[in-house]
Chain A
Amino acid sequence: SYELTQPLSVSVALGQTARITCGGNSIGSKNVHWYQQKPGQAPVLVISRDYNRPSGIPERFSGSNSGNTATLTISRAQAGDEAAYYCQVWVSSTVIFGGGTKLTVL
C-alpha cells in the first residue's frame, strides 16, 4: 500500500520560513493536498493539488511537488501558524494521509 512520510516535528523562528516535507514513491505524479489542524479543531485545507491555495488562505502558504517529495512552505511564520500539518493523496480509490508534522513557531 502507498505510504506518505512526514517529519514528526519542524521548528521555525518567528518571521522565518518553514518547510514541511511529504515523501512518497513518485509523489510528483499525484495530486497532493495539505491540511492545517489546530488543537481541538477540524483540519482545514490550506493547499490543494500541489500548490493551489483555497479562498481565504494567506499567500504565505505555498506548495510544490516533484519526484518523491512534496513540500509545504510557510513564509514569514506567525505564532498562529503553530499547528499540525498533514499531507494527503488519493491513490487507487483510497484516501491516504501522512503521519502529520507538528510545527512549532519559536
Chain B
Amino acid sequence: QLQLQESGPRLVKPLETLSLACTVSGDSISSSNHYWGWIRQPPGQGLDWIASFYSSGKTDYNPSLKSRVTISADRSEDQFSLKMSSVTAADTAVYFCARGDTIFGIDSWGQGTLVTVSS
C-alpha cells in the first residue's frame, strides 16, 4: 500500500529557507510513471500546487513560486524534498506531498504538515 509521509521543521523564521522531505513507501520514485509533487494549503484557503518531480529527472514549478523553490529527490531512499527560500508569513500553510499522473490526477497524498513562518 502506497504511503507518503512529510517531515521537517514546523516553524521557520521569516526570510529563512523552508525544507521538507517526503518519504515514499509502497512505490519507487525512480521506476514509477507518476510524478511526485508538493501542494500547499494556507489556513482556510484552497490548494496551491508548488512543484513536481518526474522519474526521468524532469521538474516543473508553479511560475509564481519558481524563483524561490527547488524540488529534488534521493532515489536511493525513495524520498523527495522541497526547499523554499526567503519565506514570509504568506508561506504559512499545510504542505502536502503527493503522487500524481498527468492523465489520471493525484491519487495519493501525505497527511500534510503545518509549517508556520514566524519569528
**Within 8 Å of chain B (Cβ to Cβ): is A45?**
yes
Least Cβ distance of A94 to chain B in Å? 6
Known: A43-B106, A95-B37, A97-B47. 16 other contacts (CB 8 A): A31-B103, A31-B105, A33-B104, A37-B47, A42-B109, A42-B111, A45-B105, A45-B106, A45-B107, A93-B60, A94-B62, A94-B63, A95-B49, A95-B52, A95-B100, A99-B46
Question: Which residues of B, 34-52, contact A by the 8 Å Cβ criterion?
Answer: 37, 39, 46-49, 52
Number of interchain pairs (Cβ within 8 Å):
60
Measured CA separation A42–B46 after assembly (Å): 12
Task: Give the number of residues in A that approach B within 8 Å (Cβ atoms).
Answer: 24
Task: Give the number of residues in B that approach A within 8 Å (Cβ atoms).
Answer: 22
Measured CA separation A96–B102 after assembly (Å): 11
Closest to A97 in B: B47
Chain A residues engaging chain B, CB cutoff 8 angstroms = 1, 31, 33, 35, 37, 42-45, 48-49, 54, 84, 86, 88, 90, 93-100
